[in-house]
Amino acid sequence: MEILVTTLIVPFLGALLLLAEWQSRIAYGRTSRGNWRLVLRGCAIALLPVVAGMVWHALVRLTNESWIYQAIPSIVRLLMIVAAARAAFRAWQIGLMGDYFTAEPAAMLRQTRPRDELRLCAWILTCFPLLWATVPALLLVAPFLFVAALMRMSQRVERTRFLWTLAIAVEHGMDLPAEVEAFGGGARWRTKERYMALAGRLRDGARLSDALATDGLLTSAEIIAAVRVAEQTGSLVATLRAAAARHQTALCNTPGDRSVITLICYCWFVLVVMSAITSSLAYWIAPKFEEIFKDFGVEMPLLTARLFDMSASSVTIFLLIIPLLVVPAGILVLLTTRSVDDTAASAWGPLSRIYPRRDAPGVLRWLALAVAGGRPLSAVISDVAERQPNRGLSLRLQRAAHAMNAGEPPWQALSDEHFLSRREVAAVQAADRAGNAPTALNAIADSIERTHVRRTLLWIEWLRPTVMLVFGGLVGIYCLAYFLPVIALLWHAIRQA
């Protein structure tokens, strides 16, 4: 039954979700798009018994079989259960939303995250039959992840060039849609479509911030928020030039990222070498040692015996080690998806809930624009929060705006949401009385980013010897386990002589 569900039903529902989500956006006619949204709700209902069946089957297998042999299959089943449940939830949510094709930019932006998550889950469901064959091949996939990570580095350069193009075009009064089209002419096919769509929205009369927010992938949400505020205060040129300069500086000087990437590459290489050596020892040397000790009638040392018992299930142990090889490569790919000021990226959004200060630099920069332009902070914050794709950050901004409207001092309201510390609040209040609040906010934002880099380097300096000690301890245990039998045999020969 599991084979039928995993090879037929689940991939069919995943493919149907992909088709329905696509047609609900681009199908011709409002009625047709509404019918495809009904299909999405139908798929959500059909996924519910599938999820219940997968949960029941996973619990039965875990109860009746050893957890060692069910570790990898259980991880895959858990992934599928989560993907199917989230796909059902997002499909039902999108099915109840309004028409995407005719929606306002803010409404489109609210649908972006659910649709992206639905597509991801649907692709997992569609490719589910390949997962069982993929798990043993992760060792071969990991090097390609490193290659993909290096290729993703080029996106930082492309974003920097794009921001400089926008800044120069706006500063000199050039035809912005034509410049965007010319810039996108050399991009890859998917990115090229985004640039062409952006140029079309600009020709239709959309503001730059609304045009960028409709797609949300050409630049970060913080840049879009800064552009939105700059359009209201008349400082668009300075804002774009400052953002491009920060990107360029970060490309030339990223010691934190380089240290992290170096440590990750070191860990991955050591894990690969250790896995190859231990597997060879378990396959070639361990059986011969056991035969030698049986012939001599000598009791094997306890440490060696325990290690050989583990070697007896070397295939299972190797399958458990393989995901560890992919973790460093996956972290490297995740790091390369992060660009300067990209705190609203979907991959890094959950980190903002754990570490809220991570959002502070970008927020403080566009608040500095609002203060310099004489705009009321509560209105600007509310306007940005409504179009913020990072839901956690949006809620925090809305709470700060409500507190300001209730009479709380603005800097204290921002401190309550962890955008400013107590000392920073005092510094901004003093600068505000002197009329230099924008300068103080920008300086605090730069200081927070420098502090992040210093803390990253500090953690790397602590982690590097720890990792080396762990690897060295494992190597020492293996060496001791394989040399103790030799000592035991020599001692046995001396006693008999």
How far is residue 296's CA from residue 309's CA, in Å, rounded to a whole number? 20
Whole-model pTM? 0.61
Q: CB-side exposure of 155: number of CA atoms within 13 Å?
A: 20
pLDDT in tens, 280-324: 777 777 777 778 777 777 778 888 877 777 665 555 555 555 555
Per-position b or e across 341-373, b if 16+ CB within 10 A of its CB: bbbbbbebbeebeeeeebbbbbbbbbbbbbbbe
Residue where a domain terminates, one of 198, 231, 252:
252
- The answer to whether residue 190 scores a pLDDT higher than 80 is no
Lowest mean pLDDT among 22-31, 237-246, 312-321: 312-321
Give the pLDDT of residue 448: 86
182 inside domain: yes
Number of domains in the chain: 2
Most distant CA pair in the chain, distance: 98
65 inside domain: yes
Q: How far is CA 154 from the centre of its chain?
A: 17
Instruction: Give the residue numbers spanning the domain of 170.
Output: 143-252
Same domain, 161 and 74: no
Same domain, 115 and 24: yes
Give the pLDDT of residue 343: 40
pLDDT in tens, 191-213: 787 888 888 888 888 888 888 87
Same domain, 147 and 239: yes
Same domain, 168 and 236: yes
Residues 196 and 164: beta-carbon distance below 8 Å: no
- The answer to whether residue 119 scores a pLDDT higher than 70 is yes
Residues 361 and 381: beta-carbon distance below 8 Å: no
Residue where a domain terminates, one of 77, 99, 126:
126
Same domain, 63 and 151: no
Same domain, 66 and 152: no
Residue where a domain terminates, one of 79, 101, 126:
126
Same domain, 76 and 110: yes
CATH number of the domain to which 235 belongs: 1.20.81.30
Of residues 71 and 184, more confidence is placed in 184
pLDDT in tens, 448-497: 888 877 877 787 778 778 878 887 888 888 888 888 888 888 887 788 76
Give the pLDDT of residue 92: 92
Give the pLDDT of residue 346: 46
